[in-house]
A and B are shown apart, each in its own frame.
Chain A
Amino acid sequence: MTRFTGTDQYVATDDLQLAVNAAVTLQRPLLIKGEPGTGKTMLAEEVAAAMGKRLLCWHIKSTTKAQQGLYEYDAVSRLRDSQLGDEKVHDIKNYIKQGMLWQAFTADEQVVLLIDEIDKADIEFPNDLLVELDKMQFTVYETGETIVARQRPIIIITSNNEKELPDAFLRRCFFHYINFPDKKTMEEIIRVHHPELKKNMLNAALEVFFEVREVPGLKKKPSTSELIDWIKLLVADDIPIEALQNKSIKEAIPPLYGALLKNEQDVHMLQKLAFMMRRDSR
C-alpha cells in the first residue's frame, strides 16, 4: 500500500502524514480541524491525488441532512410522472437518487470521500451517520435493499469548530489538528506555490507576515492561504524587495496589505500603530 507523504502542491508535516496513514491503514474516518486557511479541505484532494484515487466531495450546509448522503427519494417527480402516465412510475428505483456515501460505497475501486465542514450541519447530523460510518452499510427503506460497501472508502472530515461534535461520533474517528505552520514549514509551502520566488524576497515577505500575525488584538490573523495570495500579488505587481526589507510594520504598513488583512478594524489598528511609532521616533 502506498503511504501518503504530501504532494508537489501540498506540504504535509510528519504528524499529518502519520495521521493520514494511520487512518488509511485502520480504515477509520479522519477528522481534521485547524485555523481557517491551513489547508484542511485541500488535504482530501491531495490525498486522493497522491494515492491515485477518485475524490468524492460532500459539502455540508446548514440545511444538509444525513439522509441526503445516503439517498433521496424524489416523490415530487414520481407524482408528476404518475399524472402524466409515464411508464417509469411503476419502478420506485427510478426515483431514488444516490447520495455521496452510496456512491462511495459502491464505487468500483476505493475512493476518497471528503465530508467538508461537518460542523455547519444540524447538531444531530453526525449522530445520524454513526452506524453508516461504522458498519459501512445502510438500508434503503423504500425498496428494502441493503447497500454494503464493496470496500471501505478513505473518509476525511473537516470541521471549523462551529459546533461541538457528539462524543459517540468522535470516538469513531481519528483526530488531527493542523497546527499553524512554523517558519520552516511555511517556507516549504511558499516554495511549492511560488517556485520562482527569490530567497531573500521570500524571507522578507515571511518576516512581514509573521510580524503582522504577532500584532496583538487582531480580529482575524492572516493565515497561510492569505500569505500565498499576498505573495502572488507582490510578484504580479513587481513590488521591489526594498519595500519589504528593513522596515518594521510598525513604521510602515506593508504594501498590498488588503490581501493579508480582511478586516477594516485590523487595517485601522495597523495604521494607528504605524502612526504612533512614527510619532514616537520623531
Chain B
Amino acid sequence: MLIDFFYTLKKAGLPVSLKELLALLEALEQQVIFASVDDFYHLSRMCMIKDEKYFDRFDQAFGHYFHDLEMIEDFESFLIPHDWLNPDWIKNLSDEDKAKIEALGGFDKLMETLKKRLEEQQKKHQGGNKWIGTGGTSPFGHGGYNPEGVRIGGESRHQRAAKVWEKRQFKNLDGAAEMNTRAMKMALRKLRKFARTGAAEELDLSGTIKSTADNAGLLDLKMRPERHNAVKLLVFFDVGGSMDYHVQQCEELFTAVRAEFKHLEYFYFHNCIYEKLWQDNHRRWEENISTWEVLNTYGDDYHVMVVGDAAMSPYEITEPYGSVEHMNEEPGHVWLRRITEHWKKLVWLNPVPEEYWSYTHSTQMLNKLVNRHMYPLNLNGLQDAIDALAK
C-alpha cells in the first residue's frame, strides 16, 4: 500500500516516517477523499509533510511517482526559455544560420519542428532528459544563443493544464533557496542565549519560598533580573568590487541581525581584513579604526560573522603589500589568524553558492584559515553557521 510512494518521498530527502504513512492509509480507509488525484495530492501532503519548505520537493517527488520518470533531478527546470519563443533572438543569428532557418521553412516552421521534436521525444523517452540541440545536426544548436542547451521533461509545455504539483508554487520556500529577512531572523534566533542581567524586577518565586521557609514562615520576598538575550555579535562585511552583486543578500542579513541582537557591532573591509576597518562606507578613508583596536575592544565572548565572497587574488592573502588598494605591511593571512585566534566563535558567510568555491583559489585558502567554518549565505548555510556558533 503506497510503499513505493513512501520510498519515493524518502529518496527525495523528505523527512517522512511510518507513522505518517499509516495516518495517510487510515485517511484513505475512512474515505476522506473519493478517487481524485488532486485530492490525493493534498491529502498525502498534509499527512506526510509538516513544513512548507518541503512542499516544492514534495511536488517534484509526487510528480516523479505519478509519471514514473527516471530521475528526480529531471524535474528541475524543463520549460522552454522565453527567449526561444521570442523572435528577437533571430537578430543575433549569423547569416549562415539565417540561411539554415530559411532552408527549414522560416521561423514559424522552425518552431513547429521544435514542437514536433519535443513531442517525439516525449513519446520515445517518456519525458527523458535528452539535450535538444547538442547533436550537431539539430537547427537549435547552431546559433550559439543558448550554449547550455535545454533539458526537456515533464509535460506542462504542451499547453495542457498544469497539475497543481507541476506549478511548483512553493519553490521559494525550499530551505536551500534564497532567503528573506524574516527567514533569516528565524535562523538567527537560534543563537539567542538568555541571561539574567540588569535591574532586579521579577519576583523570584522559588527563591522567595526558600527564604520564607528559612525565615520560619515569615514572608521574605526575593527579586531577580529579567532574562535578556545576552549574545554579542560582531559582523565584518566585505564591500565593493565583486561584492556589489550580493548587496541585496547582505542588506537582508544586516537587517535581520540588527533586529535580533542588541549587542551588535559591524565593520566593513574590502576583500581581505587588514590593519584598518571602517564603519561608514562614505567616509572610509577619513574615518577608520585600527583592527588592533577592534581586537582589543571586543572580548572573546563576541560571536563573529565575516560576510564576503572571498574572491580575490591569492597574493592579497599571502603577501605583504598584496592589497589592491593600499600598502599593507602585514599580509592578510596574519590578520585573519589574529582574528580567528582572538574570537573562537567565528564563521564566514559566503554569498557565492558552495558549488563554485572550488574554482577560486582564494576561497579555499580563506576557508582553511577560518578552520573550515565557511558557509554559503542561504538559509541552510546560515543555519549551519548558527549551529557552529552556538556550539
Contact = CB atoms under 8 A, between A and B. Distances in A.
A176 B46 contact: yes
A39 to B, nearest CB: 16
A175 B23 contact: no
Binding site secondary structure of chain B: helix
Contacts of B50: 31, 165, 167, 170-171, 173, 175
B39 A18 contact: yes
A93 B257 CA distance: 49
B177 to A, nearest CB: 16
Given A173-B50, A177-B52, A18 B43 contact: yes
B20 interface: yes
Contacts of B49: 175
Which of A14, A19, A28, A174 counts the most chain B CB atoms within 10 A? Answer: A174
A108 interface: no
B336 interface: no
A25 B30 contact: yes
A33 interface: yes
Nearest to A171: B19
A171 B17 contact: yes
B186 A19 contact: no
A164 B55 CA distance: 16
Contacts of A165: 50
Given A25-B27, A163-B189, A177-B55, A18 B32 contact: yes
Interface in A104-138: none
Interface in B38-58: 38-39, 42-43, 45-47, 49-52, 55
A211 interface: no
B39 A171 contact: no
A219 interface: yes
A94 interface: no
A167 B39 contact: no
A21 interface: yes
A156 to B, nearest CB: 13
A174 B42 CA distance: 11
Contacts of A179: 169
Which of A14, A18, A31 counts the most chain B CB atoms within 10 A? Answer: A18
A interface bracket (residues with beta carbon within 8 Å of B): 20 to 34
Interface residues of B, number: 28
B186 A22 contact: no
B104 interface: no
A171 B42 contact: no
B181 interface: yes
Interface in A7-28: 14-15, 18-19, 21-22, 25-26, 28
Contact of B186 (A15, A18, A161, A173): A161
A162 interface: yes
B202 to A, nearest CB: 11
Given A18-B33, A25-B32, A163-B189, A170 B51 contact: yes
Contacts of B181: 219
Contacts of A15: 42
A132 B358 CA distance: 51
A26 B23 contact: yes
B102 interface: no
Nearest to B169: A179
A63 to B, nearest CB: 11
A94 B338 CA distance: 65
A171 B24 CA distance: 12
B260 to A, nearest CB: 12
A15 B15 CA distance: 22
Contact of B30 (A14, A26, A161): A26
B52 A33 contact: yes
Nearest to B26: A26
Interface in A125-161: 161
Contacts of A25: 27, 30, 32
A19 B44 CA distance: 10
A176 B366 CA distance: 43
Contacts of A176: 46
Given A171-B19, A219-B181, A21 B52 contact: no
B15 A21 contact: no
A255 B47 CA distance: 44
A124 to B, nearest CB: 14
19 contacts: A14-B38, A18-B42, A22-B46, A25-B30, A25-B32, A26-B27, A31-B50, A33-B52, A162-B186, A162-B189, A164-B51, A164-B186, A167-B15, A167-B50, A171-B20, A174-B46, A177-B52, A177-B170, A219-B181
Closest 4 CB pairs of A and B: A170-B50, A15-B42, A177-B52, A22-B32
Given A26-B27, A162-B186, A171-B17, 16 more contacts: A14-B38, A18-B42, A18-B46, A22-B27, A22-B33, A26-B32, A31-B50, A33-B52, A163-B186, A163-B189, A173-B50, A175-B45, A175-B46, A176-B46, A179-B169, A219-B181
